[in-house]
Amino acid sequence: MEGDGEGDQRSSEGKGNMRFKRICVFCGSRAGHKSAFSEAALQLGKLLVEKEIDLVYGGGSVGLMGLISHTVHTGGRHVLGVIPRALLPHEISGQTNGEVKTVTGMHQRKSEMAKHADAFIALPGGYGTMEELLEMITWAQLGIHDKPVGLLNVDGYYDSLLALFDKGVEEGFIDRAARQILISADTAPELIKKMEEYEAVHDKVAPRQSWEVDQLLEPAAAHTQSGAWEI
């Protein structure tokens, strides 16, 4: 017996996700002082499981990284953690969650995470989280990728950063259309919904194909300058 169209639509909306198969989450290796940060990581992890989305993340088993990876892994979804060898003693404690890929340095870590993800989300975190977020925004502006970049602004944690971006527009350093690259919301469900609806409106600095050609040279460059990328 054929189902009615409305029922099929409700089923597809309630479970699964046609746009994203894997989302990369940047977040702190600490939990922060507020319980709201941990609660947001757990809520996002549960939402990824509900929508049948796999997780790519920084590979740590502590802090917010540990919370979201454990939630997604125990929920039955695939988890890929990418971590530089030098950070293993600092960001992994006890049992890891899912698959962990060890790389030589931070540049390779971000490259691997970006390669395996269909979108990016930043939870609260420190310098490393913010740097990863800003690099994904920059890559989108340059035309290296066209994947949605989201910011989960838990309890106003990123209010000052968002205000700085707006100041950049006001002072003429950030194009108004490029400011729309970053999608922000206060809750995980609202953020995922916005990211599903995202369409790029900014002018890319260079065609994506030209960046892909340049990337063919990366292994050789990395070999000759490997010391610059390693910790």
Q: Which residues share a beta bridge with 99?
A: 80
Q: Does residue 4 belong to any structural domain of this protein? A: no
Give the global pTM: 0.82
Q: Does residue 140 belong to any structural domain of this protein? A: yes
129: number of CA atoms within 13 Å, CB side?
A: 25
| 195, pLDDT greater than 70 | yes
Q: Does residue 209 belong to any structural domain of this protein? A: no
CATH of the domain at 83: 3.40.50.450
Percent above pLDDT 70 for the chain: 78
Q: Does residue 115 belong to any structural domain of this protein? A: yes
User: Domain containing 40: what range?
Assistant: 22-197
pLDDT in tens, 51-101: 999 999 999 889 999 999 999 999 999 999 998 888 877 766 567 789 999
pLDDT in tens, 167-185: 999 999 999 999 999 999 9
Q: Does residue 13 belong to any structural domain of this protein? A: no
Q: Does residue 220 belong to any structural domain of this protein? A: no
Q: Does residue 2 belong to any structural domain of this protein? A: no
Task: Please list the alpha-helical segments (H only) found in the chain.
Answer: 5-14, 35-50, 63-74, 88-91, 106-116, 127-142, 159-170, 188-197, 208-215, 218-224, 226-229
Q: Does residue 104 belong to any structural domain of this protein? A: yes
User: How many domains does the chain divide into?
Assistant: 1
pLDDT at residue 85 in the model: 86
